[in-house]
Amino acid sequence: MPTSPEPIPLLSATGLVKVFHAGGRAVRAVDGVDLSLAAGEVLGVVGESGSGKSTLARLVLRLTEPSAGRIAFDGRDITALDGEAMRRLRRDMQIVFQNPHSALNGRRTVGEAVAEPLRVQGVARGAALDARVDRLLDQVSLPRAFRHRYPHELSGGQKQRVCIARALALEPRFLVLDEPTSALDVSVQAQILDVLGELRRELSLTYLFISHNLAVVRYLCDRVMVMREGRVVEQGPVAALFAAPAEAYTRTLLDSVPRLPRP
């Protein structure tokens, strides 16, 4: 909950549009989306395949160039930022992808993977770099000895922890989590959700959490935005919105989730 009357959002976007051209057809993957994220907030974006949720995530990180619209980070327009300014901004915004198996280089150790952003940005080296890597592994509850291991020696959940540690290396304020637990078993998913919840509290992080799993969004997010065919269907506080959706599509989504028998 924002406390001050008119807080400046950490991240905001207005009128975002992304048009992809495929086979002579124009596909409006994201079609006029506004969003606003207060510092420390977790916003979930839910939708089915093709809803534009992953494209939206890439747009706000400037990994994909928008066809129209504006993006602001910490009150500054970043829509057209480039060169050194964009490079510096990348320290503040990072991403964790769905598939930890393909997000890590199989020929680099865990330590090298986690150290890479620090090295690229020239933040630390030598003993200071080693100490940072140790601390990052602590933060995601991986044994420090794991720095010498290769990805193939790790389970899916352990790999995702490495990806989270790497995303945290530059002490970002904003993280995009793109289906971070979809490729994991449920018992492992619970552990990763735990880690994400703790990190958010400890480091006052702001998350944009992309997922098709409504129950996971309900568990982790403060607010939720429902997307369909590139547009926002509705948004609001997650508990209230899931309890009483205004739109028929949200109702259909919620009704499609199988319920478990209760004791």
CA angle 29, 39, 179 (to 5 degrees): 40
Query: Is there binding between residue 3 and other proteins (CB under 8 A)?
Result: no
Q: Given candidates 39, 219, 234, 236, which one binds other proteins under the rule CB under 8 A?
A: 219
Told to check if 155 binds other proteins by CB under 8 A, we report yes
Contact between 254 and other proteins by CB under 8 A: the answer reads yes
Task: Answer yes or no whether residue 198 interacts with other proteins by CB under 8 A.
Answer: no
- How many residues bind other proteins, per CB under 8 A? 36
Residue 141 in contact with other proteins, rule: CB under 8 A = no
- In the bound state with other proteins, the residue whose beta carbon lies nearer, of 1 and 127, is 1
DSSP 78-138: -TT--HHHHHHHTTTEEEE-S-HHHHS-TTS-HHHHHHHHHHHTT---HHHHHHHHHHHHH
111 Cβ contact partners less than 8 Å away, ≥ 6 residues apart: 133, 147, 148
Residue 55 CB, nearest approach to other proteins (Å): 16
Which of 148, 146, 124 lies closest to 137, judged by CA? 146
Minimum distance between the CB of residue 210 and other proteins, rounded to whole angstroms? 14
Of the candidates 135, 182, 129, 138, which has an alpha carbon nearest to the alpha carbon of residue 160? Answer: 182
As measured in angstroms, the least distance from the Cβ of 177 to other proteins is: 15
Among 1, 22, 145, 260, binds other proteins (CB under 8 A): 260
CB under 8 A: which stretch of 108-116, 135-143, 169-177, 180-188 binds other proteins? 180-188
> Which single residue is written with the structure tokens 């018992």?
187
> Residue 253 interacts with other proteins (CB under 8 A)?
yes
Q: Out of 98, 242, 245, 250, which residue is the one contacting other proteins (CB under 8 A)?
A: 242
- 188 contributes a contact to other proteins by CB under 8 A: yes
Distances (CA, A) of 44 to 19, 83, 127, 227, 232: 23, 30, 38, 10, 12
Does 257 contact other proteins by CB under 8 A?
Answer: yes
Select from 22-30, 73-81, 82-90, 186-194 the region that touches other proteins (CB under 8 A). 186-194
- Is 236 an interacting residue with respect to other proteins (CB under 8 A)? no
Nearer to other proteins, 80 or 243 (CB): 243
Listed in sequence order, the residues at least 6 apart from 29 whose beta carbon sits closer than 8 Å to its beta carbon are: 18, 19, 20, 52, 55, 230
Residues 102, 179: contact at Cβ < 8 Å?
no
HSE on the CB side for 95, CA within 13 Å?
A: 18
Tokens of 232: 């926002």
| Cα separation, 92 vs 109, whole angstroms | 25
Residues 32-51 touching other proteins, rule: CB under 8 A, are 48-49
Tokens read off for 48: 């089915």
Q: Which of 82, 84, 202, 255 binds other proteins (CB under 8 A)?
A: 255
> Which residues of this protein are in contact with other proteins, per CB under 8 A?
48-49, 155-157, 185-191, 193-194, 212-216, 218-219, 239, 242-243, 252-263
